[in-house]
């Protein structure tokens, strides 16, 4: 099995991670022992056929689920030992999420959608406004702050969703098929935006995609098959070896 050899810049480390659903003879082994290191500031694409384990791994990395066995370290902390509330706190402080469906509130403005994570975090109105506008500016939509989703194109709606994901200044952005509902031109725009955010802000990007053209924007590509890492293509990484 392929794995990336860790360096001092390792942000996420999975060792022997398994995930089973159900029990006994009917149990389904979604992950069968995953070893992965993800470097701080990398842009990682995760690919594989349906049922290969990629979405299960992303749910674990997003602290939405826990491994059945194995260890998951984030910033050196063992996430598999945390309880539900502690994982929720980790999500709010360090992680941002972008989905294929934009998941925007239909009757609220772009700014109000972006401010939502800050509401949950208890920030005051001025702080929410300033941070929300800054996030919209990063995705090129500061002038559209008062528009509702119905007044925005699909590409613009995904930009608002990305602004919402980065407004808390997370260390990691997890994107699940972020271009799945967009045409080719809009998809390329979103991928260029994610690349710019990764390079300019240093956000580590983890993206699930089934499209090789979108995965090509990443610096590291992890290929899943049958609950295992089939191979890791780290063509553009520096200071890292790829072990097969």
How far apart are alpha carbons 240 and 9 in whole angstroms?
10
CA distances from 100 to 10, 73, 134, 142 (A): 28, 27, 23, 22
Confidence of residue 6 (pLDDT cuts 50, 70, 90): very low
* Residue 238, pLDDT score: 42
The DSSP code for 22 is S
Q: Which two tokens stand for residue 160?
A: 């608002």
Fold topology of 3-243: Rossmann fold (3.40.50)
Which one is predicted more confidently, 239 or 87? 87
Which one is predicted more confidently, 216 or 244? 216
Confidence of residue 126 (pLDDT cuts 50, 70, 90): very high
Domain definitions of the chain by residue range: 3-243
Q: What is the pLDDT of residues 40-62, one digit of tens each?
A: 999 999 999 999 999 999 999 99
* Residue 244, pLDDT score: 35
* Residue 7, pLDDT score: 44
Provide the 10 A C-beta neighbour count for residue 59: 16
């Amino acid at each position: 099995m392929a794995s990336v050899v860790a360096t001092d810049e390792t942000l996420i480390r999975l060792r022997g991670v398994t995930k089973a659903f159900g029990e006994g003879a009917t149990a389904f082994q979604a992950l069968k022992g995953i070893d992965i290191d993800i470097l701080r500031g990398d842009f990682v694409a995760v690919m594989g056929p349906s049922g290969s384990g990629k979405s299960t791994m992303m749910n674990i990395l997003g602290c939405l689920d826990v491994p059945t066995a194995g260890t998951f370290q984030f910033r050196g902390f063992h996430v598999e030992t945390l309880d539900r509330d502690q994982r929720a706190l980790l999500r709010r402080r360090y992680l941002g999420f972008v989905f294929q469906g934009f998941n925007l509130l239909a009757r609220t403005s772009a700014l109000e959608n972006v401010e939502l994570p800050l509401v949950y975090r208890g920030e005051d109105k001025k702080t929410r406004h300033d941070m929300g506008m800054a996030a919209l500016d990063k995705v090129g939509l500061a002038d559209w702050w008062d528009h509702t989703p119905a007044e925005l194109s699909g590409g613009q709606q995904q930009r608002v969703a990305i602004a919402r994901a980065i407004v808390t200044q997370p260390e990691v952005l997890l994107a699940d098929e972020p271009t799945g509902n967009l045409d080719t031109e809009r998809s390329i725009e979103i991928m260029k935006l994610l690349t710019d955010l990764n390079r300019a802000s240093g956000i580590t990007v983890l993206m699930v995609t089934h499209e090789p053209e979108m995965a090509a924007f990443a610096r590291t590509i992890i290929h899943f098959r049958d609950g295992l890492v089939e191979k890791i293509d780290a063509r553009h990484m520096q200071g890292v070896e790829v072990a097969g």
